[in-house]
Amino acid sequence: NDGFLNDIRSRPISESDVLQAIAEARTGPVEQGSVGAGRGTRAFGWKGGIGTSSRRLSEDLGGWTVGALVQSNYGGVLTIAGAPVGQELGRYYLRERIGMTGGGVGEERFAGGPDVGTDDGDGSIMMVVATDAPLDSRNLTRLARRALAGLARTGSSMTSGSGDYVIAFSTTRVSDLLAGAPLVGNNDVSPLFQAVIEATERGHRGTSEALPLDQTIEILRRYGVVRP
């Protein structure tokens, strides 16, 4: 509810605000892109937004699903599947100080070429991790912490002015657990960690100025991330 979100930005959040948000929650696909609280977000100096991604483990690893919803509002050096996209496009945190060189950028861009902008690195990113794996609070906390590894993969600097938060929950019913349903143990939770890292890395989608897709795809082709 955009009206509700705009209203609470100008005042402290109260208990009634939380109850109202819960009452207005609805099922179905989650809106993505420049919607709700994602309207004013920026990621790596480009337009941010809200995005989702998920991973499903194979049956021999439990068959569980992990999903991540990411509200991208942070900075650093944009990296997609290992390709230094932000560096190649010339827009990244501390660009004016360190002037990275590599790929097809060239020295002249940093030494007097067009200034395509920079990224101050700050912001506040919110990540919500959901899984159908029966995890207790301890392993849910561990799962949430692994989401930050996915954030790091995107090139985030996690600067002092960036608030990076993760909430994780399981859809397993409490009544099932009370009835003796088995929990996922420590020896079996590692594949879920890998899944949440990958899902979070992909969940920064939702593309101020949008990321130039044609240039980005060309960079990804040059680094072998996508095929020609």
Residue 223 has a pLDDT of 93
pLDDT of residue 114: 39
Q: Which two tokens stand for residue 131?
A: 């899984």
Q: Residue 123 in 3-state DSSP?
A: strand
In single-letter form, the type of residue at position 58 comes to S
Instruction: List, in order, residues 6 or more apart from 24 with CB less than 8 Å away.
Output: 1, 4
Catalytic residues, by residue number, are 124, 162, 164
- Non-local (6+) Cβ contacts of 68 within 8 A are 52, 53, 54, 127, 128, 129, 130, 147, 150, 196, 199, 200, 202, 203
113 — phi, psi (to 5°)? -75, -175
Question: Mapping DSSP to helix (H, G, I), strand (E, B) and coil, where does residue 128 land?
Answer: strand
The closest alpha carbon to 50, from 171, 169, 203, belongs to 203
Report DSSP letters for 34-102, one per residue: S-GGGTT-EETTEE-EEEEEEEE--GGGT--EEEEEEEE-B-B---BTTB-HHHHHT--BTHHHH----
Do residues 89 and 217 make contact, with C-beta atoms less than 8 angstroms apart?
A: no
pLDDT (tens digit, 0 to 9) for every residue of the chain, 228 residues total?
A: 444 444 444 567 788 888 888 898 888 888 888 888 888 888 998 888 999 999 999 999 999 999 999 999 999 999 998 999 998 998 888 887 776 554 433 343 433 333 445 667 888 899 999 999 999 999 999 999 999 999 999 999 998 888 889 999 999 988 887 788 889 999 899 999 999 999 999 865 444 678 888 999 999 999 999 887
76 forms beta bridges with 156
Q: What is the pLDDT of residue 34?
A: 86
